[in-house]
Amino acid sequence: MENVMHRQQGVVLIMAMVMIVAVTTVAVTLMSTSSLDLKITNAAQEREMAENELFGEVQKIIAEQSAKKGQSYFMKSTQQMTNGKIEFTSGDTSNVLTNFNNGQLALKCPRQFSFTEGVVCNMTQLETTVEYGTKSKHRVTVVAGISQEMLNASEVN
């Protein structure tokens, strides 16, 4: 009976070592998976924050320019802009305002229920960009079309 006990003690040790290796492998795999999940979640959160900042900045720029009335960038003709564009910064964003009018005349406004003779539209596009993430290597851009109604002096009596 003593011989049987001595032979089994080595098997138990080997089985215990195999179980420790298996449990350690499972633990390491779970830790690396959770670390990857955290990185994905942080990246999604950073992008969401950048988008929210960007939408807020677009609304702020439109409100500021609207308050300037006749001095607004939205009222400038193509000739008053460099190559039909105005580039400026606001907060952490870089912005490009592009005028889509051809020549000196403003475009006819998009069709409306009650069209008013002599009213034309100054069509512009505001492109706002923000960089985010580690070392600002990611970029989000929002493009907003703006149609500003105004009187055309050559058509008003």
135/30 Cα distance (integer angstroms): 29
Rg of the chain over Cα atoms, rounded to whole angstroms, equals 32
Strand residue runs (E) in 21-137: 85-90, 93-99, 107-108, 119-132
Type of residue found at 123: M
Q: Give the dihedral sign, CA 81/82/83/88.
A: negative
pTM summary value: 0.63
36/19 Cα distance (integer angstroms): 26
Per-block mean pLDDT, blocks of 10 residues, the chain (157 long): 60 87 89 84 90 90 84 78 83 85 58 65 85 86 82 56
